[in-house]
Amino acid sequence: RAKLAERGSVARYNRGVSEEIRGRVNMLHNLRRAFSANELFLVFQPQISLVSGRCVGAEALLRWRTADGTMIPPDRFIPLAERSGLIVAMGEWVMRRACEEAARMAQRGHGTVRMAINVSVIQFRDPHFLGRLRAAIEDSGVSPQQIELEITESVAMGEGSRMIELFGRIKAMGLDIAIDDFGTGFSSLSHLQRMNVDRLKIDRAFINDIGGLGKGGEIAGLVCGLGGRLGIELIAEGIEQIEQADRLQLMGCQLGQGYHFARPMPADDWRVWLDAHAQGGC
Ligand code: C2E
Ligand code: MG
Ligand code: MG
Ligand code: MG
């Protein structure tokens, strides 16, 4: 009887697993369809100087709205795109679209406002990555100085000397590099120095804690100290309250991004927002 019960629970387990797999296969199928049907789009979130209040850049963030209007967050579909390899084509589309938008910004007099693009580790491992990047820049006519690539900390540190070489080439093309979600991985300080990155993005989790009971505020302070010593600019993500912005500025953090300043916006709204804020500040 014990055997039977065991067999029953194994069967239940298998059913659970296969349902999960079926769900994933289904979602991947829908994602591929949505991608080729142009149902993915970019939104843009301003990056602000905590000192002057001016907009210095925007981060391009991918969105998927299904035919029935449901929004699927990137945290759910990007891992799927990574596992299936679809991220290579999708990421190339993101680079092209973001470069086009940046070129358009320059045409409207905002050529010093940077465009930050998230890049997945799978894209970096693709041997044609640099070629795709170069083509996106050339075809859009954007100045490479206007483009920044965001790479998560775990990726940047995990891949060792290959990353240092790749970063060198990207920097040589004139682009900026930012380490995303900084503080959540394990950085080697010597790596960090040799990688010659332009910016560290302090993870939202630590910003949340500022002014609260958690230790996140302390970590944000430590990262700011580190950036200051190494001469790397700092940007805080997920600023929701003015007190957080004030505290971060005192810690030596130069830039910020978050709902307190602006939410990510579709391209039309972003263009209007940028025209309105370019002069005055946020
Ligand atoms: P991330 O690169 O760390 O992006 C920051 C996330 O924080 C975004 O979530 C943004 O909407 C959110 N955020 C910004 N300000 C605030 C705030 O004040 N409060 C809160 N609670 N959240 C805020 P989103 O757009 O859902 O993206 C999630 C992640 O998906 C991104 O994290 C990034 O890792 C990934 N992702 C998004 N677009 C792309 C893309 O085009 N390519 C790749 N490879 N990854 C992407
Ligand atoms: Mg990012
Ligand atoms: Mg981030
Ligand atoms: Mg994050």
Taking only the tens place, the pLDDT of each residue in 171-202 is 999 999 999 999 887 777 778 888 889 999 99
Range with the lowest mean pLDDT among 7-16, 88-97, 151-160, 264-273?
Answer: 7-16
CA separation (Å) from 109 to 49, 248, 271, 278?
Answer: 18, 30, 11, 9
**pLDDT tens by residue, 34-71:** 999 999 999 999 999 999 999 999 999 999 998 889 99
Q: Is the ipTM of this complex over 0.85?
A: yes
What b/e sequence results for 61-76 when a residue is b if at least 16 CB atoms lie within 10 Å of its CB, and e otherwise? bbbbeeeeeeebeeee
Note the Cα 139 to chain centre separation in Å: 23
Q: Is the CB of 73 under 6 A from ligand 1?
A: yes
Q: Is the CB of 62 under 6 A from ligand 1?
A: yes
CA of 70 to the centre of ligand 2 (A): 23
Q: Is the CB of 118 under 6 A from ligand 1?
A: yes
Are 47 and 235 within 8 A, CB to CB?
Answer: yes
Tokens of 165: 């070489």
Residue nearest to atom 13 of ligand 1 (CA): 238
CA separation (Å) from 70 to 67, 184, 247, 269?
Answer: 7, 30, 37, 20
Per 3-state DSSP, the chain is made up of helix, strand and coil in percentages (nearest 5) of 55, 20, 25
Tell me how far apart the alpha carbons of residues 185 and 71 are, in angstroms, rounded to a whole number.
Answer: 29
Confidence category of residue 4, pLDDT binned at 50, 70, 90: low
- Least distant ligand from the CA of 205: 4
What is the DSSP pairing of strand 176-182 with strand 265-266?
A: unpaired
**pLDDT tens by residue, 190-241:** 788 888 899 999 999 999 888 777 787 889 999 999 999 999 999 999 999 9
CA of 277 to the centre of ligand 2 (A): 22
Q: Is the CB of 90 under 6 A from ligand 1?
A: no
Tokens of 64: 């998927």
CA of 211 to the centre of ligand 4 (A): 20
Averaged over 230-254, what is the pLDDT? 96
Q: Is the CB of 81 under 6 A from ligand 1?
A: no
**pLDDT tens by residue, 68-88:** 899 999 999 999 999 999 999
* Candidate from 76, 237, 240, 241 with most ligand 1 atoms within 8 A of CB, to mutate: 237
Q: Is the CB of 180 under 6 A from ligand 1?
A: yes
Could you give phi then psi for residue 142, rounded to 5 degrees? Answer: -75, 150
The answer to whether the pTM exceeds 0.95 is no
> Can you point out the beta strands (E) in the chain?
40-49, 55-65, 71-72, 114-118, 147-152, 176-182, 199-202, 233-237, 255-257, 265-266
Tokens of 24: 């994933």
Q: Which atom of ligand 1 is nearest to the CA of 239?
A: 18
